Amino acid sequence: MGSEIRVGDIMKQDVISIEEGSPVSEVAKLMKIHDIGSIVIAKNKKAEGIITEKDIIHQVVALGEDSSKITAGKIMSTPLKVVRPETTLEEAAKMMRQYSLKRFPVVNENNELVGMISEGDIMGVFPSIVDLLEERAKAGR
């Protein structure tokens, strides 16, 4: 890409999080209410793990577990892969490919959750990156 656009420039800042002691049923309700596919597990604003819809299906529903009795901490994915606001979109996209992930929590230097970035967010700015590259190419002629 070669762009200097940073994760902090396009990340979603209103991230829904929940504490690890919360029941999975509450996680699922928050996903439905906010129409999101994952929830970050945080303790004192610090990102600890993440739960996706797939985690709930594979680790609770498919096993016939009671989602009101299983805690978020039991099924969350750890260690958590994160990026910082100053990470370039190119770096974030490479990490998504490397780890086969579709989203990353964004944390500051204190590991406090400050945002979320997804493949869709990056693809949403891709047309403008192509335009920028084309402009630079024309200017170099």
Domain annotation for the chain: domains and CATH numbers: 7-139 (3.10.580.10)
Res. 129 pLDDT band, cuts 50 70 90 = low
| Segment holding 17, helix H or strand E | strand 17-18
The pLDDT value given to residue 69:
97
Which residue's entry shows tokens 């985690």? 55
Q: Which two tokens stand for residue 39?
A: 């929830």
89-99 vs 119-139: helix crossing angle, rounded to 10: 130
State yes or no: cis peptide before 79, omega within 30 of 0: yes
Q: Which residues contact 9 (CB under 8 A, 6 or more apart)?
A: none
Q: Whole-model pTM?
A: 0.80
- pLDDT tops 70 at residue 114: yes
Q: Which two tokens stand for residue 108?
A: 């500051």
Of 1-5, 35-39, 115-119, which range is least confident? 1-5
Residue 16 · residue 38 · CB < 8 Å: no
Report the length, in residues, of the chain.
Answer: 141
The pLDDT value given to residue 136:
62
Residue 3 · residue 89 · CB < 8 Å: yes
Res. 1 pLDDT band, cuts 50 70 90 = very low
Give the C-alpha distances (Å, rounded to integers) separating 132 from 11, 42, 118, 124, 125: 20, 37, 21, 14, 11
How do residues 25-84 score in pLDDT, each as one tens digit? 999 999 999 999 999 999 888 999 999 999 999 999 999 999 999 999 999 999 999 999
